[in-house]
Amino acid sequence: MNRIDAAFERTRAEGRAALIVFVTAGDPDLEMTAELVPELAAAGADVIELGLPHSDAIGDGPTVQAASLRALKGGVTPAQIFDLVRRLREVSEIPLVLMGYANNILARGEEPFIETCADSGIDGLIAVDLPYEEAPVLAETCAAKDVHPILLITPTSPPERIVRVAQHSKGFLYCVSVTGVTGARKQLPTDLRTLVGRIQRVSSLPVCVGFGVSTPEQAGQIAGFADGVIVGSELVQRVHAAGSRAEAIEAAGAFVRELSQAVRSARG
């Protein structure tokens, strides 16, 4: 069974939402990411998204864009990230989702990219700017290699598209909470529960909410009605703001423990 599916089976059995966290792979270096992933898993993350550094991350806000640029300036490459995942698989079975852009995939070739994902230990793939209609080969290779293509639904997605996207996604559906780019926000949209409900009515896949979730309070609120909560930019910023490597690991773990506690107690 794909690790993502197993994670959601566990959270459903526990009667709670899943906590998914995002870090940019290689920010500020690959060794930091290698230390972060096991710490985040131990702190309560159910799934971890690894961002592929990209020079034109159009779906990301300033925080994640800056993290991508730091990784790229440090010379981080996709090949090195796949090697990192292989190392992580020696110490952790946490589900890992690779999050990137079409160019990351097309530069290597769709089939070779997915084959490398599977061989290294990646469980899912999010290609932010690649509609499923444009990637039939990618979908076929993902199915053959048991790498789940995870698709996005936005507040502007019409009902018929929500149905089609749900039919082509596996693992979970990524519900974008707001129109715009990633980044911490002070308030959640008032109609978010309605959007999640619309998606849940047409798909049995877990619906996970991301973009803008930045506090334990927000995570707990979403965990009351969604199947999963995704937190990225705030975690990336806390790692970057730390004064040392040890402080960064400690700050990341403490933040994820707070998020995990909020998510786990939301349906108390």
What average pLDDT does range 181-209 have in this prediction? 82
Is a pLDDT exceeding 80 seen at residue 268?
A: no
Q: Please choose, from the candidates 2, 181, 23, 183, the residue with its C-alpha nearest in 3D space to the C-alpha of residue 99.
A: 23
What average pLDDT does range 191-213 have in this prediction? 94
Position with higher pLDDT, 251 vs 191: 251
- Position 187 confidence tier, pLDDT thresholds 50, 70, 90: low
Is a pLDDT exceeding 80 seen at residue 181?
A: no
What average pLDDT does range 185-198 have in this prediction? 81
Q: Please choose, from the candidates 240, 189, 194, the residue with its C-alpha nearest in 3D space to the C-alpha of residue 210.
A: 189
What average pLDDT does range 89-103 have in this prediction? 96
What pLDDT score was predicted for residue 188? 72
- Position 60 confidence tier, pLDDT thresholds 50, 70, 90: confident
Q: Where are the beta strands (DSSP E) in the chain?
A: 18-24, 47-51, 96-100, 124-127, 148-149, 152-153, 173-176, 207-210, 228-231
What pLDDT score was predicted for residue 184? 47
CA 262-266-267 angle, to 5 degrees, is 155
Q: Which residues are catalytic?
A: 49, 60
What pLDDT score was predicted for residue 179? 58
What pLDDT score was predicted for residue 75? 96
pLDDT in tens, 6-55: 999 999 999 999 999 999 999 999 999 999 999 999 999 999 999 999 88
Position with higher pLDDT, 231 vs 189: 231
What architecture is the 3-264 domain classified under in CATH? Alpha-Beta Barrel (3.20)
Give the separation between CA 127 and CA 223, rounded to whole angstroms: 24
What is the 8-class DSSP label of residue 253? H
What average pLDDT does range 133-148 have in this prediction? 94
Is a pLDDT exceeding 60 seen at residue 182?
A: no
Position with higher pLDDT, 191 vs 92: 92
What is the 8-class DSSP label of residue 150? -
What is the chain's mean pLDDT, rounded?
A: 93
Is a pLDDT exceeding 60 seen at residue 253?
A: yes
What average pLDDT does range 240-266 have in this prediction? 96
What average pLDDT does range 214-221 have in this prediction? 95
